[in-house]
Chain A
């Protein structure tokens, strides 16, 4: 069964901490995406990557960075977590067309 796996289902972090959210896919997809979902706002794109070591800013990149050292892994980094980054984070991948999603990480920053 093909999968996109996010390392944590729930995370609680303190303001100012550096936070890593990991995403791994086993489908050999070129493209990987990080979204956040907030009530009433839908899925908003943070960063995406079309290839190893490649990254592009999405609609709301401020306060985030990413890393893609290997094709199967796409990491989202919160350099200094803030309370307004409390959200549900979703990773997705594709090779064109529809996405396969991870199950999400609910991050709370206190």
Chain B
């Protein structure tokens, strides 16, 4: 079982602030890293799948970077808005299984108007 860790566990920011949080994972046997956004009363939604060291992906005001050698990924939100309030999950494939993911405990973001 892999250990995927996220920090911080929760975060409160003011509207308009930029913020970032971290996902750490074992650097050996890297295959892919997934980011999801889970808003209250909705299904978790896929944000990014990252596969290459040095990858940077962007979706609107949200971007993510990947460092497979040191085993971390950052998620950045520029100019946070109340609608960005959600739990952000990262996930890593179980070694030997291309089908099953193990999840971090998530970062719960609250953006205050």
Interface, chain A (partner B; CB < 8 A): 4, 9, 30-31, 33, 35, 40-43, 45, 48, 50, 59, 90, 94, 96-104
- Summed over the interface, the residue pairs from A and B with CB atoms below 8 Å come to a total of 49
How many angstroms between the C-alpha atoms of A96 and B34 in the bound complex?
13
How many angstroms between the C-alpha atoms of A87 and B16 in the bound complex?
33
The answer to whether A103 and B42 touch (CB under 8 A), given A42-B106, A43-B103, A96-B99, is yes
Interface, chain B (partner A; CB < 8 A): 1, 6, 9, 32, 34, 36, 41-44, 46, 49, 89, 91, 98-106
Provide the residues of chain A in CB contact with B42, threshold 8 Å: 103
How many angstroms between the C-alpha atoms of A98 and B34 in the bound complex?
7
Provide the residues of chain B in CB contact with A90, threshold 8 Å: 44
Q: Which of B41, B44, B91, B100 contacts A48 (CB 8 A)?
A: B100
- Beyond known contacts A99-B34, A99-B44, A99-B46: 4 more, CB 8 A cutoff: A43-B103, A48-B100, A98-B49, A103-B42
How many angstroms between the C-alpha atoms of A30 and B102 in the bound complex?
18
A108: shortest Cβ distance to chain B, in Å? 16
